Structure 1
Amino acid sequence: MKKLIILLLSFSVITSCAQRKKENDVAIKTSEKRGYTTEKIVNNLNNPWGMTWLPNGSMLITEKAGSLIHFSNGTKTEIKNVPEVYNRGQGGLLDIELHPNYSENGWIYITYASSEGDEEGGNTKLIRCKLKNDSLTSIEELYKATPNTSRGQHFGSRIEFDNEGYLYFSIGERGNRDVNPQDITRDGGKIYRLNDDGTIPNDNPFVNEKNAKKAIFTYGNRNPQGMAKHPTTGQIWTHEHGPKGGDEINIVRKGVNYGWPVISYGVNYSGTTFTDITSKPGMEQPIYYWVPSIAPCGMDFVTGDRYPDWKGHLLVGSLKFNYVELVKLNGNEVVGREKIAQDIGRVRNVKMGPNGYIYIAVEGQGIFKVVPK
């Protein structure tokens, strides 16, 4: 009887994985006739990582190498007093986001790779600051991941606010796959949640766990480089890089373990396996995964009425295949995929602007606007 139960459970797990694989086998559509054009609005950017808009419609753009650009009326101005960044590999000046009440308080939030600390190397840091006379002022450190390491991969990092005013940001596992993601006493491979002033919310999941990093909201993440708030539900969605295969879309849920590297739909870059399981009790399944990997970076939901056929669906940039993917949704289920802005280049970010247009940041080029015909 015991053997029969074990066999039935095994069959159930295999069937569940097979069903999920089938669910994720959504063919990608290539539109033969485009209903839009792409117009370059900011030229000569090397690696435009983060972008956001001030109330007057001008843009703030982070360059990974360490410069912050204010783009207004066709003119680029470099902002002064930007903190020195640890510009190594994937690290540098990363994401930028305005406080939801920016017009009242003027706070700007930035993540970057910082060498501050006792160890050599760097790790991801979150600050908030204000902008005055083309210079950053009132700079406050909100979080600095430890320890530093000279490894050049997996710094994250994206920033988003939810409807209650909590601040979320991501830090990759810094290349320490087998230690950081599953250990809540260590930084890296996590999504963090703070109050807007950097203090720890009382209901964070691990505030009462001994030695835990109290800012952690989820763990078992690899390298999340996309984060956006769902326009209807208010939930925070993320995507993260898998290894070779297994890029994921996840919905952020309090205290959840997303499984890296215990479970994965990917393999090592060499093609060898590092885990033989794709599911395990207590570990969350992605709502979607890509095999092969598209190397996702940047994401946002389509809102407004400029793109009626795309409204409510998800935009994801592809570094590897040089396009933006429109991930079509029915609730939380992925029901279709479509390539837009094909062959535009390595997409580092994609966001909805306050004027209702889609903006795409492309390495080695600049910022493009998607204009419906």
Structure 2
Amino acid sequence: MKSWLSVWYLLCLTIGFSEASAKNEQLAAVHTDVNGLNVFANHIVVEDIVTSLAFPKAMKTVIDKTNSTTHVLIVTRDGALIIVNDKNEEVTFELPLDDLYTDGQGGVLDILIPSQFPENGTVLLSYSKGNDSANRLAVVKAQLSLTSGVSHIEPVIEVAQAKDTPVHYGGKLLQLVGNRSLEDLSFLVTTGDGFDYREQAQVISSQLGKVLGFTINGKPLVNPPFPESPFVFSLGHRNPQGLAYGPSGQLFLHEHGPDGGDEVNLLHKGSNYGWPVVTLGKDYSGARISPFSTYPGMVAPLVDWTPSIAPSSMFYYTSSQHPALTNGLLVTSLKSKALFVVHESASGYTSNMVFNKLDERFRDVAADHDGNILLLTDGENARVVKLSPE
């Protein structure tokens, strides 16, 4: 399984290359902003929307601007879809996914509701399938009804390589802008490196440790950057867990580093994001993974979280309901049990912690029709809370 690249990588670790003396100047200053915590966290009302959720993985909203209502959709690890209407009434449906694998970090991973909904009811789901010895990330499409759940599930794309580890799936979905008809819809999905297969993140022919681009019918995007591996959109990722559009069409991605080195990146088609040749983190044992914190031809992050926060999801917030967050990337975290906002300034990107009062791991974040923040917590007794101004 080892390629020439992995051999080169291992040689680099044994040779006394000196590590770069300073991090990239564009990396964000990451800290707890006391003013931000005071302005936001101390002037909001926290309200439970849903409770008693068993291992939820992702949350999306369906907003009806005409009627000023929001439906909240949550998918759980073990294959449930919970739909909550504007009166906080909830109903649960089964997701009949083929060969669902739920060990470790596996299970249902994400749901994407394209911009054409509800005129067209097609949605996407990502999940892990297989067994302990051979499992992989899969994406399917289905028809969604807010009153009867999903039906007509069909396969779209699966990661070509199976692995025997129950971790690092990625699985975050994003619709690419610019296409209106169903046949023209195109998407991205993140894939993890499988942990024990990290060298594959730098191998073009492998779909591990990548962002993949595909159409609603499971075909590669037009004009792929790597014609020999037409589904590969970008490479060099460890465990990417957030995808979001910025206000000018920028693509932002965040991912888990090892012990340190969590990142926000500006995502470009055909770019290499370095893992495992470049990292600002260390192995969990404390050993150095790579001698390089930068490398020619590999993209440096906009934000580096060291120590790790374990980012779990992200979206760009445009509402004025919470002015301290407006025009920022909202990032939930598992390890830090906090909500962060990433803002762009003249000197680069700055990350600030703005909410950490629940002492719970945060799995996902969204906004309702009024611009109130919805936070999905993690674990066997999770909930959705709404943060609204006093």
Q: TM-score with structure 2 length normalisation?
A: 0.85
- One-letter amino acid of the structure 2 residue matched with residue 202 of structure 1: V
Match of 2:3? none
1:18 Cα offset (Å): 4.2
CA contact (8 A) 2:189 2:211 kept: yes
Match of 1:45? 53
- One-letter amino acid of the structure 1 residue matched with residue 106 of structure 2: G
Please show how residues 163-182 of structure 1 align to structure 2 within 5 Å.
Answer: 163-165=177-179, 166-182=186-202
Task: Work out whether 1:318 is the aligned partner of 2:353.
Answer: no
1:76 Cα offset (Å): 2.6
Q: Quick one: which of 307, 324, 329 aligns to 1:292? A: 307
Task: Work out whether 1:247 is the aligned partner of 2:247.
Answer: no
Match of 1:269? 284
- Superposed CA deviations along residues 84-103 of structure 1, whole A, max 9, x for unmatched, are 42001111011111111112
Give distance in 2, aligned partners of 1:46 and 1:111: 18
Give distance in 2, aligned partners of 1:258 and 1:236: 14
Q: Quick one: which of 74, 77, 91 aligns to 2:91? A: 77
Give distance in 1, aligned partners of 2:271 and 2:347: 17
- Superposed CA deviations along residues 323-358 of structure 1, whole A, max 9, x for unmatched, are 111222227921351331434400111122343221
Give distance in 2, aligned partners of 1:103 and 1:55: 10
Task: Work out whether 1:20 is the aligned partner of 2:25.
Answer: yes
Q: Quick one: which of 172, 176, 179 aligns to 1:162? A: 176
Relative to structure 1, the CA distance from residue 284 to residue 153 in structure 2 (aligned partners, 3 Å threshold; closer, same or farther) is same
Match of 1:103? 118
Task: Work out whether 1:129 is the aligned partner of 2:142.
Answer: yes
CA contact (8 A) 1:91 1:112 kept: yes
Q: Comparing both chains, which one has the higher relative contact order based on Cα–Cα distances under 8 Å and sequence gaps of 6 or more? A: 2
- Alpha-carbon RMSD across the aligned residues, in angstroms, is 2.1
Task: Work out whether 1:183 is the aligned partner of 2:187.
Answer: no
Q: Quick one: which of 366, 372, 383 aligns to 1:351? A: 366
Matched residue of 1:245: which SS?
Answer: coil
- Superposed CA deviations along residues 41-83 of structure 1, whole A, max 9, x for unmatched, are 0111122211122355222210112211122233332223521
Match of 2:243? 227
Q: Quick one: which of 157, 178, 182 aligns to 1:143? A: 157
Matched residue of 1:221: which SS?
Answer: coil
- One-letter amino acid of the structure 1 residue matched with residue 61 of structure 2: W
Give distance in 2, aligned partners of 1:65 and 1:233: 37
Matched residue of 1:179: which SS?
Answer: helix
Q: Quick one: which of 265, 278, 294 aligns to 2:293? A: 278
Matched residue of 1:140: which SS?
Answer: strand
Figure out how many residues of one structure are paired with residues of the other and give that number.
Answer: 352
- One-letter amino acid of the structure 2 residue matched with residue 262 of structure 1: V
Relative to structure 1, the CA distance from residue 285 to residue 359 in structure 2 (aligned partners, 3 Å threshold; closer, same or farther) is same
CA contact (8 A) 2:171 2:191 kept: yes
CA contact (8 A) 1:287 1:332 kept: no
Matched residue of 1:262: which SS?
Answer: coil
Task: Work out whether 1:36 is the aligned partner of 2:44.
Answer: yes
Give distance in 1, aligned partners of 2:318 and 2:110: 21
Relative to structure 1, the CA distance from residue 80 to residue 63 in structure 2 (aligned partners, 3 Å threshold; closer, same or farther) is closer
Q: Which moved more, 1:190-199 or 1:308-317?
A: 190-199
- One-letter amino acid of the structure 1 residue matched with residue 239 of structure 2: N
- Superposed CA deviations along residues 109-140 of structure 1, whole A, max 9, x for unmatched, are 11001118xx9431111111102452422222
Matched residue of 2:118: which SS?
Answer: helix
Report the identity percentage: 28
Q: Quick one: which of 178, 195, 199 aligns to 2:219? A: 199
1:169 Cα offset (Å): 1.1
- Superposed CA deviations along residues 155-210 of structure 1, whole A, max 9, x for unmatched, are 11211113224311111111134432011111211111122332212211112x2x
Q: TM-score with structure 1 length normalisation?
A: 0.88
Give distance in 1, aligned partners of 2:346 and 2:359: 29
Give distance in 2, aligned partners of 1:160 and 1:272: 35
Matched residue of 1:275: which SS?
Answer: coil
Give distance in 1, aligned partners of 2:48 and 2:324: 23
Task: Work out whether 1:59 is the aligned partner of 2:79.
Answer: no
Relative to structure 1, the CA distance from residue 329 to residue 38 in structure 2 (aligned partners, 3 Å threshold; closer, same or farther) is farther
1:32 Cα offset (Å): 4.1
Unaligned runs of 5+ in 1: 1-12
Give distance in 2, aligned partners of 1:318 and 1:293: 9
